[in-house]
Amino acid sequence: MKEEDICKALDAINNGFSKKKASRVVNVPRSTIQFRLSHKFKKPGPGPPPILSAEAEETLAKWILECHKKGFPREKKDLLDEKLTYKYLSRIIWTILV
């Protein structure tokens, strides 16, 4: 069973075939078709998943801008320094939890 077979089955369903008939014609299990049609299936994007959540990334960006406004601009090496980044992110998490 290949990805293109699954796509053919989904196209057949969009063209009026029933799930059962599309399953037989394309030789793809009906359970696979049902799963792909459900909202639980997400096609993974390229590359590894992000390390920071969108919220953490946004707050980190705000922190960088605040430091810059106060006269302490952060450089790339500062952000790559795990201790500094960890210290800041743990402070963010602590304020969220409290």
Output the pLDDT for position 27. Answer: 92
Q: Would residue 85 count as lying in a domain?
A: yes
Q: Is the pLDDT of residue 19 over 80?
A: yes
Q: Would residue 20 count as lying in a domain?
A: yes
Output the pLDDT for position 98. Answer: 47
Residue 65 shares a structural domain with residue 91: yes
Q: Would residue 22 count as lying in a domain?
A: yes
Q: Which of 19, 42, 43 is nearest to 32 (CA)?
A: 19
Please give the Cα distance from 92 to 18 (Å, whole number): 51
| Domain with 81 in it | 54-97
Output the pLDDT for position 31. Answer: 92
Question: Between 56 and 89, where is the model more confident?
Answer: 56
Output the pLDDT for position 18. Answer: 93
Residue 27 shares a structural domain with residue 59: no
Residue 61 pLDDT level (bands cut at 50, 70, 90): confident
Number of folded domains that form the chain: 2
